[in-house]
């Protein structure tokens, strides 16, 4: 059982006042008193807050990928950090199911918005890059106010766009295999404050974002030059 510093001090003072205690033992008791007082007066160390990054990449993974930024998000992160050597770049993996319940993609848009609001409040100078692959690209569409299922379907299953307080902090947007592109709504057509900040990348033959019929073209973005192209585009805007 541990003894509190106050209890130690009380015991030490009792020893010092005892006439039967020898001078040598009184010196030891005084030293113990000093140690106990130090334990009371020295504050516990305070953990340092994490520094604010220059750039925060908010990336939504594709359908059926495990939680995290996904393989395309990792490829973009690696090339972007190389492009922006010397700048502090962090990543945030959008938290959403990424299952075949595509209506749940709206959960990802809500999560990204909440993360960005919290980050902007704590780190006002941090800027954001938005990115997504496949269903994750649809998440990013929602944040930009683009209906991911096309204008004919409207905003069914969608989420509100980013509030202006964080939308103005978005430096660039990069999406891969974006289904909205097939409906004629690429992110390059987004209005202010995203105009001119987006790149919409589609592999040749990818049936999700083009009239192509090669399903394998949708599953190999990380092995193509497209993440590097996106990183170069982003770096050019910073």
Among 133, 132, 135, 161, which residue's Cα sits nearest to residue 146?
A: 161
Residue 74 counted as domain residue: yes
Specify the pLDDT at position 43: 47
**Residue pair 234/174 in contact by the 8 Å Cβ criterion:** yes
Stretch among 44-58, 68-82, 101-115 having the lowest mean pLDDT = 44-58
Number of H helices, E strands in the chain: 8, 5
Q: Give the SS3 label for residue 217.
A: helix
- Mean pLDDT for 126-144 is 96
Among 233, 151, 161, which residue's Cα sits nearest to residue 200?
A: 233
Q: Do 59 and 171 share a domain, yes or no?
A: yes
Cα torsion angle, 166, 172, 177, 179, sign: positive
Q: Do 98 and 172 share a domain, yes or no?
A: yes
Q: Do 152 and 190 share a domain, yes or no?
A: yes
Average of per-residue pLDDT values in the chain: 82
Q: Do 16 and 129 share a domain, yes or no?
A: no
Tell whether the model's pLDDT for residue 158 goes beyond 60: yes
Tell whether the model's pLDDT for residue 14 goes beyond 50: no
Q: Do 98 and 212 share a domain, yes or no?
A: yes
Q: Do 36 and 75 share a domain, yes or no?
A: no
Residue 46 counted as domain residue: no
**Residue 167 belongs to domain with CATH number:** 3.40.50.1820
**pLDDT tier for residue 157 given thresholds of 50, 70 and 90:** low
**In terms of C-beta density within 10 A (0-12 exposed, 13-18 middle, 19 or more buried), how is residue 190 classed?**
buried
Residue 47 counted as domain residue: no
Tell whether the model's pLDDT for residue 16 goes beyond 60: no
Q: Do 109 and 33 share a domain, yes or no?
A: no
Question: Rounded CA gap, 124 and 127, in Å?
Answer: 8
pLDDT in tens, 191-214: 999 999 999 999 999 999 999 899
Residue 49 counted as domain residue: no
DSSP state, residue 91: E
Q: Do 199 and 111 share a domain, yes or no?
A: yes
For helices 135-143 and 105-122, angle between their N-to-C axes, nearest 10 degrees: 50
Residue 120 counted as domain residue: yes
- Mean pLDDT for 144-168 is 78
Question: Where are any strands of DSSP class E within 71-206?
Answer: 89-93, 127-133, 170-176, 198-201
Residues serving a catalytic function are: 134, 206, 218
**Residue pair 235/80 in contact by the 8 Å Cβ criterion:** yes
Residue 114 counted as domain residue: yes
Q: Do 100 and 159 share a domain, yes or no?
A: yes
Q: Do 36 and 142 share a domain, yes or no?
A: no
Rg of the chain (C-alpha set): 28
Q: Do 69 and 163 share a domain, yes or no?
A: yes
Q: Which residues pair with 91 in a beta bridge?
A: 57
Residue 169 counted as domain residue: yes
Q: Do 132 and 160 share a domain, yes or no?
A: yes
Residue 207 counted as domain residue: yes
State which residues form the domain around 36.
Answer: 5-41
Among 58, 12, 59, 65, which residue's Cα sits nearest to residue 38?
A: 12
Instruction: Give me the number of domains the chain comprises.
Output: 2
With pLDDT > 90 as the criterion, what percentage of the chain qualifies? 64
The length of the chain, given as a count of residues: 238
């Amino acid at each position: 059982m541990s003894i509190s510093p106050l209890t130690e001090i009380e015991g030490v003072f009792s020893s010092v006042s005892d006439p039967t205690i020898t001078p040598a033992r009184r010196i030891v008791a005084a030293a113990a008193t000093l140690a106990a007082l130090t334990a009371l007066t020295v504050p516990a160390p305070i953990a340092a807050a994490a520094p604010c990054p220059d750039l925060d990449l908010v990336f939504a993974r594709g359908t059926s990928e495990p939680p995290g930024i996904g393989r395309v998000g990792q490829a973009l992160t690696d090339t972007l950090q190389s492009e922006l050597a010397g700048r502090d770049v962090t990543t945030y993996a959008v938290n959403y199911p990424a299952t075949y319940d595509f209506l749940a993609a709206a959960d990802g848009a809500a999560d990204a918005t909440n993360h960005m609001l919290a980050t902007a409040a704590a780190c006002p100078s941090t800027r954001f890059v938005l990115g997504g692959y496949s269903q994750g690209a649809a998440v990013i569409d929602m944040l930009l106010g683009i209906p991911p299922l096309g204008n004919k379907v409207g905003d069914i299953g969608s989420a509100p766009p980013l509030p202006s307080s964080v939308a103005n902090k978005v430096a660039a947007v990069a999406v891969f295999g974006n289904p909205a592109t097939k409906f004629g709504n690429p992110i390059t057509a987004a209005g202010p404050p995203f105009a001119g900040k987006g790149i919409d990348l589609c592999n040749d033959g990818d049936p999700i974002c083009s009239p192509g019929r090669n399903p394998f073209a949708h599953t190999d973005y990380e092995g193509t030059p497209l993440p590097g192209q996106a990183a170069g585009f982003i770096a050019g805007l910073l």
